[in-house]
Amino acid sequence: MDTIKLERIQLYGRHGVFAEENRLGQRFYVSLELKLDLSKAGETDDLEHTVNYAEVYGLAKDVVEGETFKLIEALAETLASRILDAYAKIHEVTVRVIKPHPPFDIVFDGVTVELTRRRKAAS
């Protein structure tokens, strides 16, 4: 499989266990790896044979900025599910969500959740 990567999309969301996080919000970084066959797109130079990554970005933005989750695990799971539902060409998606400033006393680059989901085979 070939890969399209959207690296470190910066979005503003209201995700977290604490009410202040839901009220104030904070920056999140989202990276997406989309696994699909890009051979036809490469041969034809035709957008119809690939996935429009501007649309994928829009979907991610809508989820991260338009919904609220307690856990970034749930945010990542929702992103993966919505992407697979929206784009039949994508066989597998890896979603990485970084919360750079979790609300506890620690100095680090943030906490990251990464998950990979595959399209289920038709039965």
Catalytic residues: 99
DSSP string, 70-104: S-HHHHHHHHHHHHHHH-TT--EEEEEEEESS-SS
Where do the DSSP E strands lie in the chain? 2-13, 26-36, 92-99, 111-118
Question: Distance between CA 46 and CA 4 in Å, rounded?
Answer: 15
Identify whether the C-beta of residue 13 lies closer than 8 Å to the C-beta of residue 28: yes
